[in-house]
Structure 1
Amino acid sequence: MLTTLGAPRAAPRLRRGKAQPLAEGPGATPLPLTRATLIRPRPFAGEEAARRWLAEVCAERELWSTLAREAATELNRLLHAHRTAAGDPYVADVDPARAVAVRFGYGTGDEVADGRWRAANELAEPERRKLVSRDYEALRPQERVA
């Protein structure tokens, strides 16, 4: 599920390149943020089983690392399909280094489709950066050559 948050309303187009006066003290233009929610169709036996799963994910670095990699791979696969279908080669793959947040949680189908959850935990930024540096460090020399 992809949702765009905070996207400003489209501004009226300028006619023939004429400048428009600005209101005094304009603030920064809000930037849109796309939230990607990947939902695994894995039902839990109950609320307690879901809580145990979330606690296990948060306690084991290798597990959340694996799940985060799986999510990025799946999202990039979906973006590839979108690029092909839309004929838009400029849609970029996701890069975990650019993620504002990485969260794991659970909820009902309606909850997670709306960006809500029963319970969720967010990876702390230092942990997210460790994941990125470990998983993408091997590509860094190639980035300089490419």
Structure 2
Amino acid sequence: IGETGLDYFRTGESARIYQRESFRAHIALAKELNLPLQIHDRDAHSDVVEILLKDGAPERTVFHSYSGGKDLAQVLKENGWYASFSGTISYKGNEDLQESARIIGKDHITVETDAPYLTPMPYRGRPNAPYMVPYTLESLATALDCSLLEVAKSTLKTTKEIYGF
């Protein structure tokens, strides 16, 4: 189910109320149907976590295009939730994302493009596309201090576990 979640960027309180109601309904549906929950979380980390903990997150909960810091990474690790990293992990100044990946651990990490946005270095500023995933994997391998092949195999295995294929 998803993308679903909370996006508080340029969002007033009345819209936030509707978002929270919809998010709760999607959580319930994912649990009822035993489907993974793909979370969109923009400027709403604490509310997303609060709702997931209160309502009970589905077993396979994935934070799409992970943008949280080390504290959120610890929450994901403690709850067995997953993080999907985009090209932003390759950007200079995103050491928090790299540390978050180390906290979460490679067995709970996937990769994505979030195309056409969030293109990895060295192509930042251009439209993103699936053929650029190896650059994201390369940055993830560096952050996790493992080989590109190891992180590629790990993210493939994790993706299969989450989505059942």
Do these two structures clear the TM 0.5 threshold for a shared fold by scoring above it? Answer: no
Q: Return the TM-score normalized by structure 1.
A: 0.27
Which entry has the higher C-alpha Rg, 1 or 2? 1
State the TM-score, normalized to the length of structure 2. Answer: 0.25
The structure with more helix, counted as a fraction of residues: 2
